[in-house]
């Protein structure tokens, strides 16, 4: 049965060109999958995975930027200072650029007029996809959230890596709120989902597992190491499987098997997949070697877990191949 899909479009940002989502939409439609627009307002769930003051800043950031100086609508604001070690982050400055630095992990996620609208639409799409699968609500086995910008680098109170709101975390929390006692999040993006890890690091009800480029050499650099296993109640519920740049496809699938074994042992009620497709060999900013056919194999292995699954689109910058690779995962999952 074709998957029910949540679809939203966002503003362009660096490598996140509008055609990324369009290529995926075209491929999904051409191969008979049903598209739906988001039906769920994610605001209540967002408040459970992001800090209220961060959400308030992000929602009103563009308005506040325009109010500072005439002509700012033609300029993009960028942070120029960050609260690094020994500097306080508990007090929110009045100065706009200082607040932007407070809530940014890098300067690679520029704000624009439509940033909040796009990010919120993506979160609504993730919540809608998860709501379709929530306990007792649907007979559907899986849903795919096709939205942009991505979200897995957005933490509880910061943006970064093109990410503003964490769509995978929204999906996981929606599943929890819908009756799932335990949810696993599997991140297969080339880059570690530092934001998702940060949100759930001290929780035992959400297992986070990631296979990604080694942060010694790959973004986001400061998180994603194998010794990060959770803290407090979440101790033992975080698994990172960093891989060297240029690793073989065979080694990547060995790591995937370790990830799936851990998810099965967790006995989760549902699965969220941060579906980064920048592991593709032709991706311009990543260094793994998966071919288009390998994404079918990925889908097959995830389908074998037998879990209600929400796929959330993350990275993937070989735009022309993105749609085919995404649909191969979906149809591999379905056994088509």
Digit-coded pLDDT (tens) for 94-115? 999 999 999 999 998 989 999 9
Q: What is the mean pLDDT of residues 138-165?
A: 92
Q: Residues 14-67: pLDDT tens digits?
A: 455 667 777 788 888 888 888 888 889 999 999 999 999 999 999 999 999 999
What's the distance, CA 215 to chain centroid? 17
Pair of tokens at residue 117: 């609208």
CA pair distance 213, 144, nearest whole angstrom: 24
Number of Cβ atoms within 10 Å of the Cβ of 240: 23
pLDDT of residue 1: 40
- CATH for the stretch 4-40+114-334: 3.40.800.20
- What's the mean pLDDT in 162-191? 97
> In the predicted model, is pLDDT for residue 135 greater than 70?
no
Q: Determine whether 225 is an active site residue.
A: no
Tokens at 144, concatenated:
């795919």
- Residue 38 has a pLDDT of 87
Q: Is the dihedral of CA 152, 225, 201, 96 positive or negative?
A: negative
CA 166 – CA 155 distance, rounded (Å): 7
Residue 3's pLDDT band, with cuts at 50, 70 and 90, is low
Q: What is the largest CA-CA distance in the chain?
A: 57
User: Residue 1: how many CB atoms within 10 A of its CB?
Assistant: 10
DSSP code for 2: P
Contacts of residue 122, Cβ cutoff 8 Å, sequence gap at least 6: 8, 10, 145, 147, 148, 149, 151, 165, 167
Give residue 13's pLDDT. 44
Q: Closest Cα partner for 111 from 74, 76, 71, 59?
A: 76
Q: Give the count of alpha carbons within 13 A of 3, CB side only.
A: 29
Compute the distance between CA of residue 16 and CA of residue 41 in angstroms, rounded to an integer.
24
> Which residues have a Cβ under 8 Å from the Cβ of 277 and sit 6 or more positions away?
283, 295, 313, 314, 315, 316, 318, 322, 325, 326, 329
pLDDT in tens, 243-270: 999 999 999 999 999 999 999 999 999 9
Q: Which residue has the higher pLDDT, 29 or 211?
A: 211
The catalytically annotated residue of 33, 50, 152, 153 is 153
Residues 6+ apart with CB under 8 A from 265: none
C-alpha angle 36-329-255 in degrees, rounded to nearest 5: 135
pTM score over 0.85 = yes
Cβ atoms within 10 Å of 145's Cβ, excluding its own: 30
DSSP secondary-structure letter at 260? H
């Amino acid at each position: 049965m074709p998957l029910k899909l949540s679809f939203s479009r966002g503003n362009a940002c660096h490598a996140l060109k509008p055609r990324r989502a369009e290529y995926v939409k075209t491929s999904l439609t051409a191969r008979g999958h049903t598209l739906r627009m988001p039906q769920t307002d994610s605001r209540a769930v967002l408040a459970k995975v992001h800090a209220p003051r961060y959400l308030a800043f992000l929602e009103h950031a563009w308005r506040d930027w325009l109010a500072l100086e005439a002509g700012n609508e033609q300029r993009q604001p960028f942070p120029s200072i960050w609260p690094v070690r020994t500097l306080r982050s508990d007090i929110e400055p009045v100065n706009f650029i200082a607040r932007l630095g407070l809530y940014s992990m890098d300067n690679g996620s520029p704000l624009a007029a439509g940033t909040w609208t796009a990010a919120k639409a993506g979160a609504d799409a993730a919540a809608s996809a998860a709501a379709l699968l929530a306990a007792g609500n649907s007979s559907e086995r899986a849903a795919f959230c096709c939205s942009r910008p991505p979200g897995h680098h957005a933490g509880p109170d910061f943006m970064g890596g093109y990410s503003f709101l964490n769509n995978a975390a929204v999906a996981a929390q929606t599943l929890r709120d819908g009756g799932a006692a335990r949810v696993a999040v599997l991140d297969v993006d080339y880059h570690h989902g530092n934001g998702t890890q940060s949100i759930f690091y001290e929780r035992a009800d959400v297992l986070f597992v990631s296979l990604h480029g080694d942060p010694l050499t790959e973004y986001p650099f400061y998180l994603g190491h194998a010794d990060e296993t959770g803290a407090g109640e979440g101790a033992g519920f975080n698994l990172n499987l960093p891989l060297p740049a240029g690793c073989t496809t065979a080694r990547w699938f060995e790591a995937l098997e370790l990830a799936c074994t851990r998810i099965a042992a967790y006995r989760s009620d549902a699965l969220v997949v941060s579906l980064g497709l920048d592991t593709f060999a032709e991706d311009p900013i990543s260094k793994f070697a998966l071919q288009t056919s390998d994404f079918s194999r990925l889908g097959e292995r995830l389908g074998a877990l037998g879990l209600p699954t929400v796929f959330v689109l993350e990275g993937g910058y070989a735009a022309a191949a993105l749609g085919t690779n995404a649909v191969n995962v979906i149809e591999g999952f379905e056994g088509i």
